[in-house]
Amino acid sequence: MCQDTPLAGSPERAARRLAEIRASRRSVLTAAASGLAFSSAVGAAAPAGAASARTKKRCYVLVTDGCRPDEITPTLTPNLHALRSGGMWWPRATSMPVMETIPNHVMMMTGVRPDRSGVPANSFYDRELGEIRDMDRPSDIRVKTIIERLGKRGFTTGTVLSKEYLVGIFGERATHRWEPELYIPVSGHAPDLLTYNALTSMVDEFDPHLVFVNLGDIDRVGHTDLTGTNLRLLRQAALLDTDLLVGRFIDSLKSSGAWDHSMVIVIADHSMDWSIPTNVITLQGAMDEDPLLGGNVVIADNGGADLVYWTGPSGKLDKAVKRIQQIAEATPGVLKAWDRRTPWLRLGPESGDVVVFCQAGWRFSDPDPITSNPIPGNHGHPATRSIPFFIGGGHPVVKTGKVFSAHARTVDVAPTVARFFGMPTPKKRYDGKPRI
């Protein structure tokens, strides 16, 4: 089952995780004037302006989850379009493999690829546990994030994340955190209006130097939009709404004067592709029927990508990888089956032994062809790699109306934020590049 689907979350699971986070001795719960509750690091729940790092600079990373770059238009998303036109824009920007939510949010905040961060996908096979699970544990990230680096230097940070597994994996890293009390059943996320309220409330109450925001509506509606292959009616409604909220946030920065020293990065973690019910790929059955692979293969379904794990004897790994590739590439709808060790993929062992991508207009449903992944909207495959990536803001570092040919990537966010705040380059360098 693709874990980046609206069926992934459950109220019980969210409540359990929230309780675990709040039970931590390192957090205190703060009720903001808005009525929303925030978790803050002990000693950090101070009013705005009390940060130890004295700078007016503010950075907001707004992730319009799942937004396609061609959806930023003057008519559909006028506020985003205006922000893009008035700032710095990278039309060639892309998500990185696997084009899923968790790994690309982690790349944004760590500045390194999955072979270093340890987070290659949403859903993976945990060999220690012997089960497929989400990468939603704080310990899944093996390196320091820009959130922690800033915190160490006295900057305050905030996370406003609409999705349960993002709240989970970023854990207590930020100084101030909004952890939604409840996620929408079925969709499994907090709606953008609530996320927006949390963002503005956090800025009003704590004014962190960096706020990392995930707006999940565009992605969640996109997943379930049955008109996605053609009209995208629901999707377009979500885009209109999210755009309005971004516009409101920008207006609030301008009216408060914060705009003049702010940098606003707008980016998506991946885009979106839609499939019809007949364009479904299931590899598990063919693997099970193979004399070599039968009983020795586990598949973690990531919507547009299958991560295939060899669980048989290590001495037969190379042979098994070739066989998995053969079977996968002979399956209609499969674009390519890569040996995970292929250097450019930069995926670590957590992503299995073979990474299989589907063609545009297809999706994986493993292990069951009917029930595992019934939704039309998916990502994870190369057809969902293009993303919006632009920087607005009134801070002088933001150039006006400048478009760049460079290939910007999700992994560039952390080094860009680091440069904005004058942070030194870490000993183990970023894989991304600063874009300012």
Site of interaction with another protein (CB under 8 A): 69-70, 89, 91-92, 94, 230-231, 271, 335, 344, 359-361, 381-386, 403-407, 409
Rank residues 261 and 433 by Cβ distance to another protein and give the closer one. Answer: 433
Rank residues 159 and 271 by Cβ distance to another protein and give the closer one. Answer: 271
Phi, psi for 27 (deg, rounded to 5): -120, 150
Rank residues 209 and 385 by Cβ distance to another protein and give the closer one. Answer: 385
Rank residues 74 and 257 by Cβ distance to another protein and give the closer one. Answer: 74
In whole angstroms, the minimum distance from the beta carbon of 377 to another protein comes to: 15
In whole angstroms, the minimum distance from the beta carbon of 272 to another protein comes to: 10
Q: Which residue has the tokens 């008109």?
A: 227
Cα dihedral across residues 38, 39, 43, 48: positive or negative: negative
b/e string for 242-256 if b means 16 or more Cβ within 10 A? bbbbbbebbeebeee
Phi, psi for 339 (deg, rounded to 5): -60, 125
Measured distance CA(122)–CA(220) in Å, rounded = 15
In whole angstroms, the minimum distance from the beta carbon of 90 to another protein comes to: 8
In whole angstroms, the minimum distance from the beta carbon of 92 to another protein comes to: 5
Measured distance CA(361)–CA(191) in Å, rounded = 27
In whole angstroms, the minimum distance from the beta carbon of 115 to another protein comes to: 15
Rank residues 105 and 381 by Cβ distance to another protein and give the closer one. Answer: 381
In whole angstroms, the minimum distance from the beta carbon of 162 to another protein comes to: 24
Rank residues 57 and 336 by Cβ distance to another protein and give the closer one. Answer: 336
Closest by CA to 145, choosing from 112, 119, 118, 121, is 112
Closest by CA to 203, choosing from 238, 159, 166, 152, is 159
In whole angstroms, the minimum distance from the beta carbon of 61 to another protein comes to: 21
Rank residues 58 and 381 by Cβ distance to another protein and give the closer one. Answer: 381
Measured distance CA(81)–CA(85) in Å, rounded = 6
Q: In what order do the strands lie in the sheet with 37-41?
A: 27-31, 37-41, 176-178, 157-161, 210-215, 58-64, 262-267, 389-392, 88-89, 402-403
